[in-house]
Amino acid sequence: MSLMTASESLLQRIRSDFNENPGLRLTPWQFRQMWSLAPNESRIVMQKLVTAGFLREDPDGALVQNVTVGSTHV
């Protein structure tokens, strides 16, 4: 999977899960496990969501929804 071919349905599912669970905070390992992603696929999807501004990384590396953006991106 490349950054450009990340499934829109997968991205929508992830966005929905974050929108439905305010405050959801996942380590990269938890992110991968939650959506049953392969390591490389997980990195690509995380990168796409962070680059789009939907998610951000906390200083400790956990992924959280960028609350200033909400569900308007990606």
Residue with the bigger pLDDT between 19 and 3: it is 19
Sequence-ordered list of residues with C-beta below 8 angstroms from that of 3, at least 6 positions apart, any chain: 44, 47, 48
- DSSP annotation of 54 reads S
CATH class of 6-65: mainly alpha
- Report the pLDDT value the prediction gives residue 17, as an integer from 0 to 100: 97
* Helix residue spans in 3-69 (DSSP H): 8-20, 28-34, 39-51
Tokens of 21: 């669970």
Q: How far apart are CA 42 and CA 28, in angstroms?
A: 8
Q: Residue 74: is its pLDDT beyond 60?
A: no
Nearest partner of 42 among 55, 59, 53, 60, judged by Cα: 55
pLDDT band at 5 (very low <50, low <70, confident <90, very high): low
Domain ranges of the chain: 6-65
Tens-digit pLDDT profile for residues 23-63 = 999 999 999 999 999 999 999 999 999 999 999 999 999 99
